[in-house]
Structure 1
Amino acid sequence: MSEVPAAGVTAQTFGQLPDGREVELYRLVNDNGMEMTVMSLGGTIVSLKTPDAEGNQADIVLGFDSLEDYLAPEYRKANPYFGALIGRYGNRIAGGQFEIDGQTWQVPQNDGNNSLHGGSRGFDQRLWEVSPVEEGSGVGVVLTLTSEDGDQGYPGQLEAEVRYTLTDDNALDIHYQATTTATTPVNLTQHSYFNLEGEGNGDILDHQLTLNADAFTPVDDSLIPTGEIRSVADTPFDFRQPTAIGARIDEDNQQLQRGQGYDHNFVLKREAGDDLVLAARVEAPDSGRVMEVYTTEPGIQFYSGNFLDGSLEGKAGQPYGHRSGLALETQHYPDSPNQADFPSTLLSPGETWLSHTRYRFSTR
């Protein structure tokens, strides 16, 4: 059994950016000894330690021990967005273009011809303001960021706030909100990669995944949704019952070939009036760790770490090889600004964009 650290929030300097600004690292510990560290650069979750079935703590998110590793050219070139907050628009926008009231807006094409995760300098590369909070139900931090009018080509000044709370029932609660001075697309999400056996401990192909989704949004060759809402029935995308991630990942299937594995948005089952719904459940066979994902969002992007290639070495001193982590990004659908039949991501002045996601951790 691991020693339980003292509950609370503490802060220390993690390093400096090239322009001299300091990056802070916040350590959150709940009453059960579950521990998370978050750095102000990108609102990035650097570590997340949870117990296995024997009570032994291990870090279950991919990332690095030093700021220098996050700033290194090889990381920025690959940019897997380990643990980062994503904005203004999580996922892809076709051609980096969209229209609002007949006006065309151009944002950076940083993923082939498309825009990915907010552009070439998205919220993952911004220095957030961070304030610790201690509540009756746990400990947390509030992160705030002002995205100026025209930032990465997006209209309107966006005021974003994200609250991470490590609750005393071993959940990570994430509350998002945003306001704008001009109508703009908003689709914030969190991009942690999980390995419930412990980061650096092999791949995630034996993890058992359940997704509360009867349909997904198939993609074209550039991973932009075609507009179709396709049933998962009789396809490798049917995770309605617990299924090993690796069971069908290499099947001869056009969608799997386009994503080089799973890199798709799943349409969550939701009844009218539902708030938080169970979106996903993951179980690791050896450690017995279980993660459940609840969200108010209509979709979840399941990414099986297909582009990890061993070139980045993580906190455990092990290279992050092919499919060594998985991401479950709660979100609106990719390319929604160009897909009239998808739920809208437009936020207008006078409105407040709200979203809530909970990652709950337990053991088998």
Structure 2
Amino acid sequence: MNIEIKDILGKWKEFTLANDQGMSVSVLDFGGIITKVMVPDQKGKMENVVLGYKNYADYETNPNFFGAIVGRIAGRIQDASFETEGQTYSLEVNDGNNHLHGGSNGFSHFCWAVEPFHTKDSVGLKLTHFSADGDGGYPGNVDVAVTYTLNNENELIIDYYATTDQTTPLALTNHSYFNLNGNLKNTVHNHHITIDSSNFVELDESLIPTGRLVEVSNSTFDFREGRVLSDGFEDNSEQHKITGNGYDHYFIFDNEGHVVVKDGDSGRVLTIETDQPGMVMYTANGLTTGLELREGSSRKYLGVCFETQGSPASLHHVGFPNVILEPEFEYNKRTKFSFGVE
């Protein structure tokens, strides 16, 4: 197992974690961005299974948040404001009238301090950042650590840790777009997804939660027994239409967070396990054409994000997974991505 470090554009570093099975994960210190994940298909062919830019300079703006750590809050905050402890806080308006993914200077758009590490059976990176009181409009001094660990079982484990000195909202995630075909040969239409979830969060036309939970039964949002993503792409129901004919919805897990993704062509299987209460599944409905990616040009439905996190809807509605962190508690979450074949 080893770690390679490469200078990028004279200002960033890219760390490539490699295990003894040939799997590798490449990460920038800028935004903690996962730029590449190389895993074998059923014939042993190593290919990249995440979306990334061909030109590293494009990560500077990265409006699609390819591979990035997102925070302080992942997702949309209604009207770019929230109230806590009797005080109203105003945030950057960067998505219609709302606030998206921590804003233009969120966790996805600065350089993290990186400390590589080796253990007996893993390699990894510990990324740390101090976010000062008032950053992006959010209260509280927040110390954040995100750890990427790659082991010999072809598991990529992401651990999130944070503390604060004031009550503040915090919901961290990684925004990688997965495509198990490998090297972007096809869209994700035929990716077969299983999600342990009986309810999803209804959205309005601005993609803001309405406050209503919807049962998945008898709909294209029912992934409990598994279904292909194209079922939703081709469905004309209102919840699909407002997202651009796809998925951009928060699913609340019934039990422990468990998601299985299969691609029949490559035989690749991705299993996601998390202690987060839910997940936004986003199927790149808004991905425009013509971006130069590592293996080709961008287009709609070219990847799928599994944003395991709390729900920012809890800032405006009751009954949603909480995102408030209190000074006397620690934020401590884990999501594991396991790669295999069948």
The TM tier, using the shorter chain, reads: over 0.9
Q: Cα offset for 1:351?
A: 1.7
**Quick check: 1:12 aligned with 2:36?**
no
The one-letter amino acid paired with 1:14 is: I
Q: Do the aligned residues in 2 keep the contact of 1:225 with 1:335 (CA within 8 Å)? A: yes
> Which runs of structure 2 are paired with 1:232-251 in the superposition (5 Å)?
232-251=216-235
* Counterpart position of 1:3: none
2:247 to 249, 262, 272: 262
The one-letter amino acid paired with 2:182 is: G
Structure 1: distance between partners of 2:200 and 2:231? 18
* Counterpart position of 1:312: 291
2:182 to 198, 209, 221: 198
* Counterpart position of 2:87: 103
Matched positions, count = 341
Structure 1: distance between partners of 2:104 and 2:208? 18
Structure 2: distance between partners of 1:250 and 1:262? 11
Kindly provide the CA deviation profile for residues 193-217 of structure 1, in whole angstroms up to 9, marking residues without a partner as x.
Answer: 0100113212000111111101101
2:79 aligned counterpart, secondary structure:
helix
**Quick check: 1:302 aligned with 2:281?**
yes
Q: Do the aligned residues in 1 keep the contact of 2:55 with 2:292 (CA within 8 Å)? A: no
* Counterpart position of 1:127: 111
Structure 2: distance between partners of 1:253 and 1:66? 38
Kindly provide the CA deviation profile for residues 6-58 of structure 1, in whole angstroms up to 9, marking residues without a partner as x.
Answer: x2112121124xxxxx2111010012111011000000001000000001100
1:327 to 305, 319, 326: 305
Q: Do the aligned residues in 2 keep the contact of 1:64 with 1:70 (CA within 8 Å)? A: yes
Kindly provide the CA deviation profile for residues 315-363 of structure 1, in whole angstroms up to 9, marking residues without a partner as x.
Answer: 11x1111101110110112322222321221112132111000011000
The one-letter amino acid paired with 1:211 is: I
Q: What's the Cα RMSD here?
A: 1.2
Structure 2: distance between partners of 1:325 and 1:149? 35
* Counterpart position of 2:261: 282
Kindly provide the CA deviation profile for residues 238-265 of structure 1, in whole angstroms up to 9, marking residues without a partner as x.
Answer: 1111211102322120100111110000
The one-letter amino acid paired with 1:97 is: S
Structure 2: distance between partners of 1:92 and 1:180? 22
Structure 2: distance between partners of 1:36 and 1:197? 17
The one-letter amino acid paired with 2:122 is: G
The one-letter amino acid paired with 2:250 is: N
Q: Do the aligned residues in 1 keep the contact of 2:232 with 2:240 (CA within 8 Å)? A: no
* Counterpart position of 1:174: 158
Structure 2: distance between partners of 1:356 and 1:152? 25
* Counterpart position of 2:49: 60
Kindly provide the CA deviation profile for residues 71-104 of structure 1, in whole angstroms up to 9, marking residues without a partner as x.
Answer: 3xxx54xx11000000000001100111111100
Q: Do the aligned residues in 1 keep the contact of 2:191 with 2:264 (CA within 8 Å)? A: yes
The one-letter amino acid paired with 1:25 is: E
Alpha carbons of 1:278 and 1:267: their partners in 2 closer, same or farther (altered >3 Å)?
closer
The one-letter amino acid paired with 1:64 is: Y
Structure 2: distance between partners of 1:278 and 1:157? 30
Structure 1: distance between partners of 2:70 and 2:232? 29
Q: Do the aligned residues in 1 keep the contact of 2:26 with 2:36 (CA within 8 Å)? A: yes
Q: Do the aligned residues in 1 keep the contact of 2:21 with 2:154 (CA within 8 Å)? A: yes
1:255 aligned counterpart, secondary structure:
helix
Structure 2: distance between partners of 1:164 and 1:24? 15
Q: Cα offset for 1:135?
A: 1.6
Identity, in percent, stands at 37
* Counterpart position of 2:37: 48
* Counterpart position of 2:317: 339
The one-letter amino acid paired with 2:52 is: G
Structure 2: distance between partners of 1:146 and 1:348? 17
More strand by share: 2
Q: Cα offset for 1:278?
A: 4.3
2:210 aligned counterpart, secondary structure:
coil
Structure 2: distance between partners of 1:363 and 1:262? 25
* Counterpart position of 1:69: 58
What stretches of structure 1 move > 4 A for 4+ residues in a row? none
2:143 aligned counterpart, secondary structure:
strand
2:326 to 348, 352, 364: 348
